[in-house]
Structure 1
């Protein structure tokens, strides 16, 4: 029995409207705010919550799930649905990665490899992540040994400088692990990885490493929902306050991570619906990108000149501005993004924009392009799944067929 006065949205007797009100309040949205994000009025929200309106159709339920960051449709419907929109399937390599993270040995007899050898393996792992269409499978196979060896390197370092260098490598290994663990069904593991990466980064005293860890930690906070946006902003602001004085004499890597953090601030502002602040941060990030070499591409964040068009699409989509999303998509060139998963992510953001703009056929075609670039990216993306599930119920037969085929390819529906 619950010991507070908050109703449990999973309780069977709670009606749809009551569930919606509970989830809206938990996210900190007013009726007016939720209505605005849905393109509806405050009275529309009130009508559903009070039961004056009936349960909306599935496409509206899926849109509500996106806006409220609902991770299981049962939270809204009260009926167990065999898909968790914002958590992907557990990857076959997840148990081995989890075991390596959880082991955290103190007296292992494993001999640490030379730092240069470990750094080369880590660079190869990042390269594999960007070039392989099945990047989670490849990275998941490499991570257990990388985690074990990086931990050993920290334990066995004799000099302070060597230990700091080993901590930087360990932090970056945890950063790679966070990419693998993200959107899989183990939130506690994600936070262990994020926090250990941040601690190792601070121990390294390396600005670039600290920036990467802060970038990923801010994302983890933001993806946890609106009640964590302030925490995301705090991490971003602290990291930029640390990095900004170093930028006049910084390397391209440090400049790039500062630019990536500035975009993250804009991303969070867009999630809040703060258009002016979001675009102001995007402008600041673009100014940083313009000072980087034309062909530069950050190996962790993908920050570069080429990525700024994709970032503009993301800002517009998160602001639920369909027309602006499509305009920004027309300006962005996905072909210039060398990373397969990042290119797929951009295609998904474009699809969201087309869907917001009332172009579902173009959205589905764009999602097919995302699947071609990196199947393991779209398979773990809740927004892509929402669009596909909605259009699988379309009244247009050809659209319904194409959406259903995509759903089968993603493993959402059985063949």
Structure 2
């Protein structure tokens, strides 16, 4: 190895700032770009990297880890005893079986594929289970292997053009359900395979709703991969909105709902870019579309509805780092109108982020406790929740530290 080669972040005697610099350069980020993402000046970041400033507090360390998409704090600290994976939740016990079903491409089989109506009913039940179960990954992880195999078999065996299109729509929906199970687990390649296969199956089906759902999920996969993929996420969402727009005057409810969900996703990505006006403009458009839906309607995949727009407003304000606004929006949003347990838990996490931004850590912890009560598996796999808990575990206020530590133990966040 040449003497001037870039050292690895585990090489001694690298200090914290040197690790930040190495990881930043490996991500292809400039110092100004990272500084903007963590809310610091380039001058301050330079001093951290050069060792002219002491290692920052935990809150700043976590912001740096988030911006660099560091998977483990030890990559930044160099200490094995800080083995905490921030952005990928634990591998679910059923992940291996789901992966095997997805990767299985049986070209010939004697198994009789199920009737289309039978698979439709099972998928409907699976989506229902996902929304109603506390541990929704366990609920759908148990069902997915057979659903995937049967959906693949049905797509292979379909005879008529109409049956093939219908089977491809069901296959796409099965991949969509799979993506909810796989997200934030330690197999990002599997997530991408599912997202892309879902889009291919949806396009083969020609079903506008299936195409919209697949685009919604594929765009999320890009957006959650970090700022360098925001353009791709935005392009997918924009194309899907353009595709559905001519259908909207006479659209069925589910098509209108997925179009509204896609419109909001454009606002979400804009908020992640800190584009305030654009973010709220897309939220307004999505809200107008939600107003056309029946009052009790709830989209089975995206949760798009009239009720969810309040929760979406909290998310936009949080991503724009508008702490006060996020708290005001949280006060307006009625979480009891959100029937899906995992979506309700996600809303509570967004509330916690808002309260944390607004310097109300005790209220943030209370919101996270409610999230855990609604759907434990949602908070276990959510990087934002994990970050807040980790910070408050170090609080100087004993009661707050004790609550955060108890929640960390419940979530299984800290390594033994």
Per the shorter chain, which TM-score range?
over 0.9
Matched residues in 1 for 2:20 and 2:316: separation? 26
Provide closer, same or farther for how the CA distance between residues 26 and 226 of structure 1 changes in structure 2, counting only shifts above 3 A.
farther
Residue aligning to 1:111: 112
- Structure 1 range deviating more: 263-272 or 15-24: 15-24
**Which blocks of at least 5 consecutive residues in structure 2 are unaligned?**
none
Is the 8 Å Cα contact of residues 28 and 226 (structure 1) preserved in structure 2?
Answer: no
Residue aligning to 1:285: 286
Residue aligning to 1:243: 244
Matched residues in 1 for 2:129 and 2:231: separation? 34
Residue aligning to 2:308: 307
Residue aligning to 1:372: 373
1:104 Cα deviation after fit: 2.1
1:414 Cα deviation after fit: 6.4
Give a deviation string over 1:230-252, Cα, whole Å, max 9, x none. 11111111111111111111111
Residue aligning to 2:177: 176
Residue aligning to 2:19: 19
Provide closer, same or farther for how the CA distance between residues 267 and 25 of structure 1 changes in structure 2, counting only shifts above 3 A.
farther
Residue aligning to 1:63: 63
Residue aligning to 1:48: 48
Provide closer, same or farther for how the CA distance between residues 377 and 192 of structure 1 changes in structure 2, counting only shifts above 3 A.
same
For residue 386 of structure 1, give the secondary structure of its aligned residue in structure 2. helix
Is the 8 Å Cα contact of residues 27 and 227 (structure 1) preserved in structure 2?
Answer: no
Is the 8 Å Cα contact of residues 16 and 77 (structure 1) preserved in structure 2?
Answer: yes
Give a deviation string over 1:343-399, Cα, whole Å, max 9, x none. 000000100111111111111010000000000100101111111111111111111
Is the 8 Å Cα contact of residues 28 and 227 (structure 1) preserved in structure 2?
Answer: no
For residue 86 of structure 2, give the secondary structure of its aligned residue in structure 1. coil
For residue 91 of structure 1, give the secondary structure of its aligned residue in structure 2. coil
For residue 133 of structure 1, give the secondary structure of its aligned residue in structure 2. coil
Residue aligning to 1:387: 388
Is the 8 Å Cα contact of residues 175 and 195 (structure 2) preserved in structure 1?
Answer: yes
For residue 301 of structure 1, give the secondary structure of its aligned residue in structure 2. coil
Residue aligning to 1:196: 197
How many residue pairs match? The answer is 414
Give a deviation string over 1:131-174, Cα, whole Å, max 9, x none. 00011001000000000100111111010110000000000000
Matched residues in 2 for 1:330 and 1:342: separation? 17
Give a deviation string over 1:71-99, Cα, whole Å, max 9, x none. 22233223343221110000011111011
Matched residues in 1 for 2:274 and 2:9: separation? 26
How does 1:226-237 map onto structure 2 within 5 Å?
Answer: 226-237=227-238
Provide closer, same or farther for how the CA distance between residues 30 and 86 of structure 1 changes in structure 2, counting only shifts above 3 A.
same
Residue aligning to 1:167: 168
The Cα RMSD (Å) is 1.9
Matched residues in 2 for 1:245 and 1:26: separation? 44
Residue aligning to 1:187: 188
Give a deviation string over 1:310-336, Cα, whole Å, max 9, x none. 111111111122111111111111111
Matched residues in 2 for 1:26 and 1:275: separation? 30
Matched residues in 1 for 2:407 and 2:31: separation? 34
TM-score (norm 1): 0.95
Matched residues in 2 for 1:7 and 1:248: separation? 59
Residue aligning to 1:353: 354
1:62 Cα deviation after fit: 1.4
Give a deviation string over 1:256-275, Cα, whole Å, max 9, x none. 11111111111111111111
Is the 8 Å Cα contact of residues 84 and 415 (structure 2) preserved in structure 1?
Answer: no
1:68 Cα deviation after fit: 3.6
Provide closer, same or farther for how the CA distance between residues 349 and 100 of structure 1 changes in structure 2, counting only shifts above 3 A.
same
- Structure 1 range deviating more: 114-123 or 36-45: 36-45
